[in-house]
Structure 1
Amino acid sequence: MSELPEIRIGTADREKALDALSLHFSEGRLTVTEFDERSATIASAMTRGELDTVFVDLPAASGTGSASVARSDSGTPAVEDGGFDWAAVVMPIVIFGSLALFFLTDFDQKWLFFLLIPLAGAILSAAGHPADKKKNKKKKR
């Protein structure tokens, strides 16, 4: 990080650092104890230098790791590898749709509408993540 170490940071900086730390943890570079300790350091960090100390012994973020969800310029969920994260869009619609059906219909067993939520989650996770599909295509080549 090229910024001065005494520069104060905000919540967004801490969240980005936690995301980066979570990526290192998911790739097996940290134990649970190390992750907990470093997460606490990030949560209490006030300057850029305090954040930098958390990542001293970890490699710089690379494009080879798993794709993370980002926001495109329009604010819609996108995957950094160029795909679109349908689950981030569809799941809230399913949840609010289930609530609307529950309150607005005259069906005797309205509670069944809430089964749409785990059903949609199962279908979306079975469909896979766009980044996973791209990785699988690259492996086949």
Structure 2
Amino acid sequence: MADNPDVRVGTAEREQALSALSQHFSDGRLTLPEFDERSAVAASANTRGQLDSVFADLPSPSPNPTASAPLDLRKTTPPANVDEDDGTDGWDWRKTAMAVTPIVALILFFIVPVSNSWLFFLLIPLVGALVAGGNRSRRRNR
């Protein structure tokens, strides 16, 4: 079914196509106007056929030169700051909660008639502590 040119593509496929176009551009296979034109087509593509037409005259991207080197497993360590995928398809509720909290605190500051309304701003570190504390189980499993 993936070979059918009428199959609709999603954001992930469009992003992969844009990444591949960037690689072709950095390899010198595309000029800037060609890259701009093909990027516009890839970004607005709805079907597999539209994406494939962007790469019709391009070879498959060259592999990373460091990837073809022999892999020494003794020196390979995972990055320390990379979070494991938690199955949320890229949406992290913790980041959203931290982004929304200052806005909520500001709204409460102006809306709720309390004599010490500045205390609503204490929600920001409180939510930060709760969000960071909720991530402990994932850190222990590594």
TM-score range, shorter chain: 0.3 to 0.5
Specify the structure having the higher radius of gyration (Cα): 2
TM-score normalized by the length of structure 2: 0.45
Would you tell me which structure has more strand in proportion to its own residues? 1
TM-score normalized by the length of structure 1: 0.45
Would you tell me which structure has more helix in proportion to its own residues? 1
